[in-house]
Structure 1
Amino acid sequence: MPKVSHEYVKEKKKSILEAAIAVCKVKPLYDISMRDIIKASGVSQGGIYRYYSDLDEILIEVINQVNVNADYKHIIDEITDTSNSPTKTIIKLFNFLGEYMKENVSTVGKIQFELTILFANNPDREKKILSNIYENESGQYFMQQIFHSIHNGISSGCFQLKISIEDLSTFIMTSIDGIVRDVVLQKCYGVFSNGQVQFDEIRLMNTLCKSVLLLLGTNEGED
């Protein structure tokens, strides 16, 4: 095989990766085959194996690329640095999360949801994939800043907790997980699409935010 430049290999792998991401948007991650990516990329079967050893190596790069694009810690820092009260910080953080979900449900949300299914049915693949992906810590950072604001509000007397901090933490995390799951199911799989209920990520996060503020003993976030 004739020698090819590093730039050529880089561009070829980028092209294959873009095709794989496009496939992930329209087909469940756990159902994707190498044939799907070959067809989408236009690369021959023999050609694709010059750049990737197997399907999981491609999926690992897809997940890593998605995680890089999903890093929003700098936006959280901007919100916390410019907000002048714990309540305003919490409102802005939930508003941002709703907007972020609306923009990224077909990529980040869908892929993360489908990874849990792939791992549940393929524990051997789980070990291989998890050991090679870059962890996206933005979600954890979001929760840290939410509770940093809550503790600041409690210390300053702005908040009077109606439930324990442990129960509040569980409520917020399970609510966000449930919203993400149901929005992905509706918008990516057509579940709950009966014409009566259309999930809106921004409104759902706004409602969750108001619920949290009520549990914190303040109605400042009400319209």
Structure 2
Amino acid sequence: MPKVHEDYAANKRNFIIKCANEAFLEKPLYQITMRDIIVKTGFSQGTIYRYYSNVDEIFLDSVNRSTPPDVLETAIGHLFSLDKKEADIVFESINAMGDYIKKLQNTVGGKILFGILVLYAFDQQKKESVLQRLIFRQSLDNAQSRIIGYIRQNIEKGVFKPIIPLEEIIRFTQAAVDGISTDTAIQSIEDRSETYISEMFATLAKAILYFLGTAEE
């Protein structure tokens, strides 16, 4: 595609996302339709659908644009490089996921993200097709994989002596992070989510360290 066409398309998408974000500030995400965005932009229906096939695609693009792709991975990598006790690194790495969520929720994209989590919490088909394409979800999944990899290495070294199988710890961690993320979306409606996130990730970290046969000191 010639550059002028690429720039034209990018400008159109940027304007559509800008209008979608404005619409979100005016009413809840679950009430926003493609019609609302068409009216906001002043574009024809055909123009909007040329760039986005449905409103989910617009929500997804808006969230991903406001979600830096490597922030959490960089934070986890830094923690792994520190000269600290392994248990402290695990504890701080798990809490880094909570810090990541807290920072994101203060952006417009973050507010849309948590609206999506609530909207699709009980829609398994959309949950799988939309949520897995979120940079937010990918970052959390990658962080968990790196933390589990670090834990596995230190089990092999004899640093951690788990009291339950590692696979159970992995399942527990995945379920807990998913649950906290969804609950955060609900809590954010009542403006109590930052404290909730800190408390829940600290509790999760302590539980994992307990399962690993150690405890936060």
TM range (shorter): 0.7 to 0.9
Partner residue in 2 for 1:202 = 198
Kindly provide the CA deviation profile for residues 182-210 of structure 1, in whole angstroms up to 9, marking residues without a partner as x: 2211213x49x8xxx98521221112111
Change (3 A) 1:158 1:14: same
Tell me, yes or no, if structure 1 residue 101 matches structure 2 residue 101: yes
Code of the residue aligned with 1:50 in structure 2: it is T
Structure 1 residue ranges, 4+ long, deviating more than 6 angstroms after superposition: none
Percent of aligned positions that are identical = 23
Partner residue in 1 for 2:141 = 140
Map residues 55-70 of structure 1 onto 2, 5 A cutoff: 56-67=53-64, 69=67
More displaced, 10-19 or 206-215? 10-19
Q: Which runs of 5+ in 1 are unaligned?
A: none
CA distance in 2: counterparts of 1:9 and 1:151, whole angstroms: 46
Write 1 or 2 for the structure with the bigger share of helix: 2
Partner residue in 1 for 2:20 = 20
Contact persistence 1:73–1:141 (CA under 8 A): yes
Distance apart, 1:8 and its partner CA? 4.9
Contact persistence 2:117–2:182 (CA under 8 A): no
Contact persistence 1:19–1:37 (CA under 8 A): yes
CA distance in 1: counterparts of 2:26 and 2:140, whole angstroms: 25
CA distance in 2: counterparts of 1:146 and 1:173, whole angstroms: 12
- Please, what TM-score do these two structures have when normalized by structure 2? 0.73
CA distance in 1: counterparts of 2:51 and 2:73, whole angstroms: 32
CA distance in 2: counterparts of 1:158 and 1:26, whole angstroms: 53
Partner residue in 2 for 1:115 = 120
Kindly provide the CA deviation profile for residues 118-138 of structure 1, in whole angstroms up to 9, marking residues without a partner as x: x44xx5x789x65xx577532
CA distance in 2: counterparts of 1:82 and 1:107, whole angstroms: 35
Distance apart, 1:63 and its partner CA? 0.9
Change (3 A) 1:30 1:107: closer
Change (3 A) 1:162 1:126: closer
Kindly provide the CA deviation profile for residues 78-103 of structure 1, in whole angstroms up to 9, marking residues without a partner as x: 33234544323212211211111112
Partner residue in 1 for 2:46 = 49
Change (3 A) 1:20 1:168: same
- Over the aligned positions, Cα root-mean-square deviation in angstroms equals 3.5
- Please, what TM-score do these two structures have when normalized by structure 1? 0.72
CA distance in 1: counterparts of 2:46 and 2:115, whole angstroms: 27
For these two proteins, the number of residue pairs brought into alignment is 204
